[in-house]
Structure 1
């Protein structure tokens, strides 16, 4: 299988091991190579690296809000995305101005391959929280899942305008650039993501990015008989 095909097959599943951001990310959270393996809707570790998401969770918190999110999170982690979606819709009825709730609903929809619905919900999260870099990255991942690379690139750029050190978005942006035959830009973005993940002591992300870098760098080298 050609490298681009391999990268694409990994990339269009944003919450798989290669994606943050995501996917897990989305992860991420969509993230993002957004997330390693399946990402929960919300974890303290994600907050450490994703300030826009952390900000979205602040304020207007309550025991009821926390309980509803925990219930949705448990369903999501079990792979029950349909019920997670149902719980999150109930959550949004109670907390319609909660950007984080809309973001998480987008994640549940995306996992069910409802990309267009997910994009709409992510955009609502951005309307409520304009500096929501994770949501922009997630929209980029949704477009990427449809091979709409230029639209994905536009969204990743918006995420990076908000947070230039957003490693998952840098990685996703690099993969989209590679898909559009812009190898130098892809390598540059991956190198920056690698340095950021190293500074954050995120070993799994470091290993993933290093692997992608090796594959891209050797992609055009002639094979040895």
Structure 2
């Protein structure tokens, strides 16, 4: 993770550009070039675990009446003084006026020294140039959630069980700690107990419960039919959504 001090270098580079093109300003440009869409990793969510290299793909779609010439490297800025810079974008023509410019950056929690404070909403800064040398520079052209990967377990017991008897479902919610490079408890979060019948592909929510301060989950329900029980966590801006693997219960 590059420290925010790097912004001074980037800002300096942009300052030099404004000398060459006097009209350029932050969130400004020349002519009719427009940024119309920004997508990060397909769904604007990036989940990082405790190991492995993650390639983050950034796509910026822009238009101009003359067509799009190219783009400068995208800058990604987030909380905790987080900053990353992509490689040089490659632009693909969508139409005579529109192109999508795509670039990526690799992040490894072991070598980029991520801090847990880096999790949250990040923004994409983009500079796009048109064929007629019009351009647009936009800070916060798009946003995405930079998340700590979550894990969730589920166990339903007893098994087998008599129909109508009580089933106890237990589990635990954890998430990546980028500072220790281990998974730790994620407590006091709401999760859903869900069930799907043996021959069904669809889970339905039985109830919503809250994990304790250590991320442990425990709740009960009545046995109704053969099927699978799981816990489901919806996620948030700092932590990824996750479903536990379903645990089968044989009802007799």
The answer to whether TM tops 0.5 is no
TM bucket (normalised to shorter chain) is under 0.3
TM-score normalised by L of structure 1? 0.28
Q: Which has the higher strand share?
A: 2
